[in-house]
């Protein structure tokens, strides 16, 4: 039995048409679809094995460009119609299962198993090598092997419609090699192959497995191949880092395919997740949860910079935690009892925090953030549902203008007070930065009713000076405005008279009349 693999690329229509047609790609997997060609892949695996011991250190340099190692199409050569009689093609055309026997002991079946041939006895009972091509169903029941081919030694299965195994493999005392490739298989139980006493090679490459738990084997010498599956690294597969997982031969070449870690080596993603989990056991945040939200490729292209999210919401915090894992970029600490944000300015652990959600706390002021490095570099600041009644509008506005990476600010559900001056400035700020203050239309402020002292809330964006400024405040403002105009006019008059006297003196040599009359 022989299988072939192609390098990772986008499949063309021709590829899809000839997925099982026997075209000869460049890379090959020989030895009944189980042993990787040493000349092609072994050097790569050796290099990766030398590099990956550095994984326990998060700052270690790791191999990154593993996308080209992904096995996208795994083709079993015996499943090529070009190699078989015309009767096979005719049966395939009519959608019927067809099996044929090749001496000394190999049986190849297309689109299912022709049970009548096996029941009839004869040479099919001599089958030691069974290959099932283009399996037609979504499930395959391994129990059929014990009934039809109890002495099978090598088994291969392929079919783009196959998704599940109906049962675990039964006890097959002679079965040494299992090759399930080129299918849509997305799940296998940990005991799926436990009853196979003599199993030596398990090839599950080129399927659609997203997560895997350590298989249970009776033998400790099983070689497992998993390359080319759709690994979802948001799942927990940290066990792959342990020494007892050495039987998973090609684990250094596994690549994540999920939306968060796509293109990242599975072992690299799991190593960062392990380090973050250990960091989250610190006494300051022991009851918080920590996750690697993204692995960003470093500028030198040789390592990754993790972006870590810490969730401490509803954990009873009275102040911001004094410790965060390195490279924490997102902090959720809503529904606590925080009263200040001092740590954002004094604690080095918050230098990398770009997004912070402090909704529904007891924060009364953020004035301490004025002219701080954090305010000049933040991305998301959420302060909904706190006790803010005023902020220094100019300091926040200047910080947002200096910060090119600012994303969103949330300020609603705070008891903003509609003071005459503050409300007008706040309104101008919200209108100018309406795209950045995401909840600007929901921000309200209150004025006290003079009759009963009740709070009357109004939307800040639509409030007018007549709504919030008292008559006495209006009169005082008018008086000061008039006085300012008078002073400005007098200053202008003085400078004009000075310029005239200077001109008159330079031209006629006469001093001003007032100067001449002075004693």
Q: How many CB atoms lie within 10 A of CB 257?
A: 20
Q: What distance in Å separates the CA atoms of residue 377 and residue 92, rounded to the nearest whole number?
A: 64
Model confidence pLDDT, tens digit, residues 101-144 = 888 999 999 999 888 878 777 788 888 999 999 999 999 999 99
pLDDT score recorded for residue 435? 92
Model confidence pLDDT, tens digit, residues 424-454 = 899 999 999 999 999 999 999 988 877 777 8
Q: What distance in Å separates the CA atoms of residue 206 and residue 27, rounded to the nearest whole number?
A: 14
- Residues ≥6 apart with Cβ < 8 Å to 57: none
Quote the tokens at residue 325. 């894992």
Look at 386 and 12; give whichever has higher pLDDT.
386
Q: Where in the chain is the domain with CATH 3.80.10.10?
A: 94-230, 287-467
Cβ burial of 125 (10 Å; 0-12, 13-18, 19+) is middle
**70: pLDDT confidence band, cut at 50, 70 and 90?**
very low
**471: pLDDT confidence band, cut at 50, 70 and 90?**
low
CATH topology assigned to domain 287-467: 3.80.10
Contact 429, 411 (CB under 8 A): no
Quote the tokens at residue 137. 């169903």
Q: Which of 329, 351, 213 shows the shortest CA–CA distance to 276? A: 329
Q: What distance in Å separates the CA atoms of residue 44 and residue 222, rounded to the nearest whole number?
A: 21
pLDDT score recorded for residue 81? 56
Quote the tokens at residue 158. 């392929």
pLDDT score recorded for residue 452? 76
Report the run of H or E that residue 131 belongs to, with start and end: strand 129-133
**Measured over all CA atoms, what is the biggest interatomic distance in the chain, rounded to whole angstroms?**
144
Model confidence pLDDT, tens digit, residues 138-192 = 999 999 999 899 999 999 999 999 999 999 999 999 999 999 999 999 999 999 9
pLDDT score recorded for residue 519? 66
Q: Is the pTM of this model over 0.85?
A: no
pLDDT at 272 over 70: yes
Q: What distance in Å separates the CA atoms of residue 379 and residue 372, rounded to the nearest whole number?
A: 14
pLDDT score recorded for residue 88? 53
Question: 94-230 — its CATH code?
Answer: 3.80.10.10
pLDDT at 248 over 60: yes
């Amino acid at each position: 039995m022989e299988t072939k693999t192609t390098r990772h690329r986008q499949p063309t229509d021709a590829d899809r048409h000839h997925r099982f047609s026997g075209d000869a790609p460049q890379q090959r997997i020989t030895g009944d679809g189980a042993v990787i060609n040493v000349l092609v892949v072994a050097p790569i695996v050796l290099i990766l094995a030398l590099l990956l011991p550095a994984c326990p250190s998060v700052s270690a340099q790791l191999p990154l460009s593993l996308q080209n190692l992904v096995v996208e199409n795994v083709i079993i050569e015996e499943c090529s119609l070009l190699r078989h009689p015309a009767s096979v093609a005719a049966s395939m055309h009519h959608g019927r299962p067809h099996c044929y026997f090749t001496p000394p002991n190999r049986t190849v079946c297309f689109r299912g198993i022709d049970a009548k041939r096996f029941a009839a006895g004869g040479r099919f009972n001599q089958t030691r090598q069974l290959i099932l091509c283009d399996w037609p169903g979504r499930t395959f029941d391994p129990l059929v092997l014990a009934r039809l081919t109890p002495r099978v030694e090598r088994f291969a299965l392929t079919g783009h419609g196959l998704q599940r195994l109906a049962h675990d493999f039964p006890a097959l005392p002679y079965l040494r090699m299992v090759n399930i490739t080129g299918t849509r298989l997305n799940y296998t139980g940990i005991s799926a192959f436990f009853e196979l006493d003599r199993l030596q090679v398990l090839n599950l490459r080129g399927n659609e497995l997203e997560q895997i738990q350590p298989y249970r084997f009776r033998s400790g010498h099983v070689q497992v191949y998993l390359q080319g599956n759709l690994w979802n690294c948001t799942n927990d597969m940290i066990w792959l880092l342990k020494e007892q997982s050495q039987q998973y031969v090609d684990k250094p070449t596994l690549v994540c395919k999920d939306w968060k870690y796509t293109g990242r080596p599975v072992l690299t993603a799991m190593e960062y997740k392990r380090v973050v989990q250990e960091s989250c056991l610190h006494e300051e945040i022991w009851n918080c949860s920590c996750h690697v939200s993204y692995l960003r490729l470093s500028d030198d292209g040789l390592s990754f910079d993790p972006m870590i999210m810490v969730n401490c919401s509803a954990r009873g915090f009275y102040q911001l935690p004094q410790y965060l894992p390195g490279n924490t970029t997102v902090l959720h600490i809503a529904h606590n009892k925080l009263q200040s944000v001092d740590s954002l300015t004094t604690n080095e652990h918050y230098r990398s925090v770009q997004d912070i959600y402090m909704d529904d706390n007891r924060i009364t002021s953020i004035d301490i953030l004025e002219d701080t490095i954090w305010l000049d570099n933040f991305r998301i600041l959420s302060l909904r549902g706190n006790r803010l009644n005023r902020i220094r509008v100019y300091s926040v506005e200047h910080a947002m203008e200096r910060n090119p990476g600012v994303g969103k600010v949330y300020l609603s559900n705070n008891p903003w007070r509609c003071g005459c001056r503050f409300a007008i400035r706040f309104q101008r700020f919200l209108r100018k930065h309406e795209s950045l203050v995401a909840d600007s239309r929901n921000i309200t402020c209150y004025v006290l009713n003079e009759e009963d002292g009740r709070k009357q809330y109004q939307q800040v964006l639509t409030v007018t000076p007549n709504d919030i400024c008292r008559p006495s405040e209006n009169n005082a403002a008018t008086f000061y405005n008039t006085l300012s105009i008078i002073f400005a006019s007098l200053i202008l008059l003085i400078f004009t008279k000075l310029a005239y006297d200077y001109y008159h003196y330079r031209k006629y040599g006469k001093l001003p009349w007032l100067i001449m009359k002075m004693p």
